[in-house]
Structure 1
């Protein structure tokens, strides 16, 4: 009887139809989402257009995220739009200066300057994005809390400082000028703001 040879190549093949989550495509989808979001606003974001921008099909989005909201939340987390490092600069004034410099760098990004106001506006119209916006704000404030904690340890600030007021003071001038008014800070202006905030935070 003739024996049939066994084709061992079949057993080594990967099963067809298995979804492979390519990280480079995920990154492209995030980038495409931000570009679409900055152009249309969150409410008008089309997942079909986002997928097309990324050179993919809509199914590539739904294999990764069950909804537009989940997609947007993970995209924000992936780039950590409002998160910064918290390296100790050695003094309260130096820490404030670094905080301002890093925050200005974030707020100067053209997509950030268009997406953040839209996030705020969407929260006023719907609660859908409230958790996302709260998460961004809380990450920023956590950075500020570490800054204040270091200053307290150095005896530069009293332990009973009004932390919430101090945190409001640190971020509000940059947000007001760069996001609300659409203007920027020169290095000299940022230095003057740092000096003013150093005095103001000590008075909290």
Structure 2
């Protein structure tokens, strides 16, 4: 049985301030760097065979903490980037609600936002394609760790599992530096083995954007 670990990056100042990051290349802050180290010390016990990461620095620098422990090199895949949020990027959600009320209403009700915000369908397709590609980097029965982003992780996993949007919305947002463990076998296909696993944190969960 093969294993795929889908790992959200560590905390950033924009996470802390509840700003929409999207594909803006915001770096990890001090807390995020420590979270990456703490998480890597747990993930190394899973004996990863390969590490794949989004090329945005908050993800790649998170992956680097595991690479340092494992000695593995990191492969980069732009398809693992966060959802593109267009004009929302850099805004807080109250600012989005004020400037783009119709889009915000669709967002809160789980509908496609429209405008220049990437659709959930497109996001799920590109991230799941990257997850499939990453899974192929390990030998049969091996483990691949994929470092990505909150919305990208959830939508990509949902597409991979062929879950309807209504089911996917029942999942809580991944906390910073937490992960989803997926397993794959010929008989059962992809299955969720664990969700929102990671180092202890007592901080509120930032939005997955």
Structure with higher RCO (Cα < 8 A, 6+ apart): 2
TM over 0.5: no
Q: TM-score, normalised by structure 2?
A: 0.28
Larger Rg: 1
Q: TM-score, normalised by structure 1?
A: 0.28
Higher strand share: 2
